[in-house]
Amino acid sequence: MADATYTPPEVWTHDAENGGRFANINRPTAGAREQQQLPVGEHDFQLYSLATPNGVKATVMFEELLEAGYADAEYDAWTINIGEGHQFGSGFVDLNPNSKIPTLLDRSGKEPVRVFESGAILMHLAEKFGAFLPTDHSRAEVLSWLFWQVGSAPFIGGGFGHFYAYAPEKYEYPINRYAMETKRLFDVADQRLAQTEFLGGQDYTIADIATFPWLAPFVFGGIYGEARTFLSIHEYENVERWVQQIAARPAVRRGRIVNKAWGEEDEQLLERHSAADFAGKKY
């Protein structure tokens, strides 16, 4: 049955009372809403994030670098509670005018460098350390899959996730529209992973680090309620093989709990300043 017809007004205006779950923070304007300095630790890399799929990309990347022996990749990770609007503090906005996590401050060079957008952070770190991004002919393939993920995430999160799980009312058309696109994206990945071990080829790269946090929760059933059943995620056997393989990596297991602010307390690590912070945690 079709949803009730909506006729857009001639000029759109913001209705804060009809914004759903995130109405308290969503506005059609950018910029800082309050003066708020960011904490700063001792390491060259300062990460401001939350363990959402996009945030997990950055923490997994750091943990993978450390696991691979790049000691200079030590980092401080600070939790930015986006539900409470911490991303609109002046200190955060100075680093990321788009007010999204994750955001990185790299102080390893002569001048501090801000890096925002998760894909940019992965590329920045991969190029700085010469890891998880090939320099031969396969580089283009890896970057293609990286940008495929970055471009696809809004369809899964702001599209399917929003209308299926977060919207104040359920509407058939947008749920169907974004369920179809989410399943198509899973099929793209599934067909690719039927041909190769990893998305970029036979090596684990930033393409996998970027994509894993978005696809894995559907495989494990930990995102958007009953989405795993609703989307028949069990059909994508190659994706599941790939997810299980990556989920077993020690660095991934650690990275997934950094800046996590929900669930069991022993599965959360709100701040991360050294490897010792994982002591007593389940990951």
The whole-angstrom separation of Cα 172 and Cα 24 is 25
Cβ–Cβ contacts within 10 Å for residue 148, how many? 18
pLDDT in tens, 164-186: 999 999 999 999 999 999 999 99
For residues 3 and 160, what is the distance between their CA atoms, to the nearest angstrom? 17
| CATH match of 45-132+257-278 with 1.10.3720.10 | no
- Residue 122: pLDDT over 90: yes
The three-class DSSP label of residue 47 is strand
Backbone angles phi, psi at 46, to 5 degrees: -115, 115
pLDDT (0 to 100) of residue 91: 98
Q: pLDDT (tens digit, 9 = 90+) per residue, 77-89? A: 999 999 999 999 9
Class of domain 139-248: mainly alpha
39-62 pLDDT tens trace? 999 999 999 999 999 999 999 999
Examine domains 45-132+257-278 and 139-248 and report if their fold is the same: no
194-244 pLDDT, tens per residue? 999 999 999 999 999 999 999 999 999 999 999 999 999 999 999 999 999
pLDDT at 18 over 80: no
Average pLDDT score over residue span 144-173: 96
Q: Which residues of 233-243 are buried (b: 16+ CB within 10 A; e: fewer)?
A: beebebbbebb
Q: Are the C-beta atoms of 209 and 180 separated by less than 8 Å? A: no
| pLDDT band per the 50, 70, 90 thresholds, residue 1 | very low
**Reported confidence tier of residue 19, pLDDT bands at 50, 70, 90:** low
- Domain spans of the chain? 45-132+257-278, 139-248
pTM for the full predicted model: 0.96
